[in-house]
């Protein structure tokens, strides 16, 4: 009996051991869930914006060197609109300077310079550059201008994008500022309706030492010789003779405006020197008088007499005869004496 119990106990022990071994086997061979490794997303490196990316198609960037004066104290920002003015020597001997607007309505790309703080001017950089957006043709123009002229930038309002004809200005230490005729402009557009422009020769004795300028007011004085002939008889081809020769002067026109001169049209150097040709604004009737006097004989002399711009009064004069002026004689009567086919003039003086 005791042996049976031992066998049973051994069998139960073996069964339990077998169950435990199976449980251990199943536990050890149980598939474990796989762990997925965390994958970091691949981020492409951010490319910094290139300078050329901000240039619109068809345009170029031209750098202008400026300072606190020409660059309006570092106040230019991206998108501002400016005009470009070139200042250079006129080539004369008396120090004239010519200022000309070479470009209008040009955009600023970006300056890269912080605006100056109020009360704290930045003294570190006395000069810097301002990039301008220009066409290739404008860039070539600026390259030529900056090689020989000083550049100044004029700031414009955001809504002011118009372009107009701006006359160059010459500064002379002797005369001050003088406007020149704009290049490419229509000179005839400056003639008022009903008026005519007549160009005549001028001399260094006209005006004030020959200094006649646009807008001046002048009187036109004419001096011309007069010769009187007496017929030699009624026969054809008979020789005549000079019976009298006179030189007389008279104010032909008064209060005439000077439209322009050749120095203003050409824009050359020495703006403060006497001019050689003057264009006057006259009526058609006055133009006829100038033409007949200047074209009748080369012995006639036209003089331009300067007058004050505020003096618009016209004065009636009788003219002057050289013989009467020198001898103090005054003609008071004149008659024609007819003798056959001959005519003789008799003048009475006092």
Tell me: pLDDT of 60 over 80.
yes
Domain-located, residue 180: no
Domain-located, residue 293: yes
Residue 255: band (very low, low, confident or very high) from pLDDT cuts 50, 70, 90: very high
Domain-located, residue 325: yes
Lowest mean pLDDT among 34-48, 248-262, 332-346: 34-48
Tell me the C-alpha distance between 100 and 182, whole Å.
9
Tell me the C-alpha distance between 92 and 108, whole Å.
35
Task: Please give the average per-residue pLDDT across 7-31, as a whole number.
Answer: 72
**Judgement on whether residues 244 and 328 belong to the same structural domain of the protein:** yes
Tell me the C-alpha distance between 136 and 265, whole Å.
29
* Secondary structure (DSSP) of 211-245: ---TT-EEEEEEEEEEEEEE---SSTT---EEEEE
Please write the tens of the pLDDT for every residue from 266-276.
655 455 678 88
**Judgement on whether residues 232 and 290 belong to the same structural domain of the protein:** yes
Q: Which structure tokens are listed for 274? A: 């006497």
**Judgement on whether residues 220 and 295 belong to the same structural domain of the protein:** yes
**Judgement on whether residues 230 and 332 belong to the same structural domain of the protein:** yes
End of a domain among 149, 164, 179?
164
Please write the tens of the pLDDT for every residue from 275-290.
888 889 999 999 999 8
Domain-located, residue 30: no
Tell me the C-alpha distance between 339 and 126, whole Å.
96
The confidence score (pLDDT) of residue 190 equals: 76
More confident residue, 341 or 213: 213
The confidence score (pLDDT) of residue 287 equals: 92
Tell me: pLDDT of 113 over 60.
no
Q: Total structural domains in the chain?
A: 2
Tell me the C-alpha distance between 291 and 253, whole Å.
12
Lowest mean pLDDT among 35-44, 63-72, 122-131, 296-305: 35-44
**Judgement on whether residues 156 and 194 belong to the same structural domain of the protein:** no
Domain-located, residue 271: yes
**Judgement on whether residues 221 and 342 belong to the same structural domain of the protein:** yes
The confidence score (pLDDT) of residue 220 equals: 93
Range of the domain at 108: 55-164
- Terminal Cα distance for the chain, rounded: 198
Task: Please give the average per-residue pLDDT across 215-231, as a whole number.
Answer: 79
**Judgement on whether residues 62 and 135 belong to the same structural domain of the protein:** yes
**Judgement on whether residues 249 and 306 belong to the same structural domain of the protein:** yes
Return the percentage of the chain with pLDDT > 90, whole number. Answer: 9
Please write the tens of the pLDDT for every residue from 75-102.
777 888 889 998 888 766 566 788 888 8
φ, ψ of residue 20 to 5 degrees: the values are -65, -40
When the pLDDT of each residue in the chain is averaged and rounded to a whole number, the result is 76
Give the SS3 label for residue 191: coil
Domain-located, residue 92: yes
Tell me: pLDDT of 233 over 90.
no
Task: Please give the average per-residue pLDDT across 143-150, as a whole number.
Answer: 88
**Judgement on whether residues 200 and 328 belong to the same structural domain of the protein:** yes
**Judgement on whether residues 221 and 307 belong to the same structural domain of the protein:** yes
Please write the tens of the pLDDT for every residue from 322-336.
777 777 666 667 788
Tell me: pLDDT of 245 over 60.
yes
Domain-located, residue 39: no
Domain-located, residue 48: no
**Judgement on whether residues 340 and 218 belong to the same structural domain of the protein:** yes
More confident residue, 12 or 256: 256
The confidence score (pLDDT) of residue 246 equals: 76
Tell me the C-alpha distance between 183 and 46, whole Å.
51
The model carries a pTM of: 0.50
- Per residue in 121-131, is it b (16+ CB within 10 Å) or e — as a string? eeeeeeebebb
**Judgement on whether residues 191 and 334 belong to the same structural domain of the protein:** yes
The confidence score (pLDDT) of residue 51 equals: 63
More confident residue, 257 or 294: 257
């Amino acid at each position: 009996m005791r042996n049976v119990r031992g066998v049973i106990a051994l069998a139960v022990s073996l069964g339990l051991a077998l169950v435990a071994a199976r449980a251990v086997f199943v536990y050890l061979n149980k598939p474990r869930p796989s762990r997925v490794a965390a994958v970091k997303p691949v981020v492409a490196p951010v490319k910094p914006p290139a300078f050329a990316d901000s240039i619109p198609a068809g345009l170029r960037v031209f750098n202008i060197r400026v300072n606190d004066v020409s660059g309006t104290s570092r106040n230019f920002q991206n998108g501002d609109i400016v005009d470009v003015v070139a200042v250079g020597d006129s080539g004369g001997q008396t120090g004239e300077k010519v200022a000309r607007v070479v470009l209008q309505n040009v955009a600023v790309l970006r300056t890269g310079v912080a605006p100056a703080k109020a009360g704290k001017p930045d003294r570190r950089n006395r000069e810097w550059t301002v990039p301008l957006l220009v066409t290739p043709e404008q860039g070539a123009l600026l390259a030529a201008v900056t090689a020989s002229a000083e550049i100044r930038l004029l700031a414009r309002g955001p809504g002011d994008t118009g372009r107009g004809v701006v006359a160059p200005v010459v500064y002379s230490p002797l005369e001050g500022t003088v406007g020149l005729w704009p290049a490419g402009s229509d000179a005839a557009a400056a003639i008022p309706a009903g008026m005519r422009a007549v160009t005549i020769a001028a001399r260094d004795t006209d005006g004030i030492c020959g200094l006649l300028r646009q807008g001046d007011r002048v009187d036109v004085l004419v001096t011309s010789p007069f010769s009187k002939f007496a017929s030699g008889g009624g026969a054809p081809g008979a020789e005549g003779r000079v019976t009298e020769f006179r030189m007389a002067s008279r104010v032909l026109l008064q209060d005439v405006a000077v439209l322009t001169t050749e120095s203003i049209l050409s824009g050359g150097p020495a703006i403060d020197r006497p001019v050689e040709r003057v264009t006057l604004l006259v009526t058609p009737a006055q133009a006829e008088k100038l033409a007949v006097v200047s074209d009748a004989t080369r012995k006639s002399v036209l003089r331009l007499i300067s007058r004050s711009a505020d003096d618009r009064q016209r004065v009636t004069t009788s003219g002057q005869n050289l013989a009467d002026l020198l001898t103090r004689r005054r003609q008071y009567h004149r008659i024609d004496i007819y003798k056959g086919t001959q005519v003789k003039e008799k003048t009475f003086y006092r």
